[in-house]
Amino acid sequence: KEMGMPVIVMAKTFYDPREGKPYAVITVDLAAENVTKPITDIKIGKAGYGYIINKEGMVVAHRDKTKNFQLDLAKLDFGKEIIQKKNGTIEYSFEGRTQFASFQEYPALGWIVALAVDKAEIMESISAMNVLFIILLIVMATFSLVAGVIFTVRLVKPINRIVMGLSDGSDQ
């Protein structure tokens, strides 16, 4: 609280092996931004991003810092599904955009790390690949046709010579 930013407190208890009672606790305070930065700095394509939610559905880290600890995904249908599944992919609408998200639980902290990308951006890539595939298909078909014609002409030419020779021989 004194730092003016969210912190993550990690603690480890050490137990006496003989009695099984705790004899020491070590704690560390980490600036949340340092822990979450590798996820929030992710950029996928033009508008894709990473975010982290806790087990209750509260956004812990997002590239839009105004959503941190303010946006509760547990109140949204897709958020409930992410919390329930913990691992997987989902298609959902959020803030007027249809998005795909892939997410996985990080059990040590009870967080779920998600990567989201706009469906339109993915479909744009698929459309570009379809055009490339069609062009490649046309080029291959044309090449096959030309190769087939050349092969046929080369194959038929000697046969035609033999037929002509036999015709000439039968005329004598």
Cα 120 to Cα 45, 55, 64, 165, distances in angstroms = 11, 29, 21, 67
Structural element, H or E, at residue 101:
strand 97-106
Tell me which residue of 106, 5, 99, 88 sits closest to 52, measured CA to CA: 106
What is the pTM for the complete model shown? 0.64
- Give me the pLDDT at residue 4, please: 67
Question: Cα 19–22–27 angle (5° rounding)?
Answer: 160
Structural element, H or E, at residue 145:
helix 119-171
Contact 25, 13 (CB under 8 A): yes
Please, which residues bridge with residue 59 across strands?
53
* Per-position pLDDT tens, the chain of length 172: 455 677 777 788 888 888 888 888 888 777 777 777 777 777 888 888 999 999 999 998 888 888 988 999 999 999 999 999 999 999 999 888 899 999 999 887 889 999 999 988 888 878 888 888 999 999 999 999 999 999 988 888 888 888 888 877 766 6
**Which two tokens mark 166?**
């036999």
C-alpha 45/C-alpha 115 separation (Å) is 11
Contact 59, 67 (CB under 8 A): yes
* Centroid of chain to Cα 19: 49
Please give the backbone phi and psi of residue 2, each rounded to the nearest 5 degrees, phi first: -70, -25
Q: Is 140 helix (H, G, I), strand (E, B) or coil?
A: helix
- Give me the pLDDT at residue 1, please: 47
Please give the backbone phi and psi of residue 53, each rounded to the nearest 5 degrees, phi first: -125, 150
What pLDDT, in 10s, does the model give residues 56-94? Answer: 999 988 888 889 889 999 999 999 999 999 999 999 998
Contact 55, 108 (CB under 8 A): no
Type of residue found at 46: K
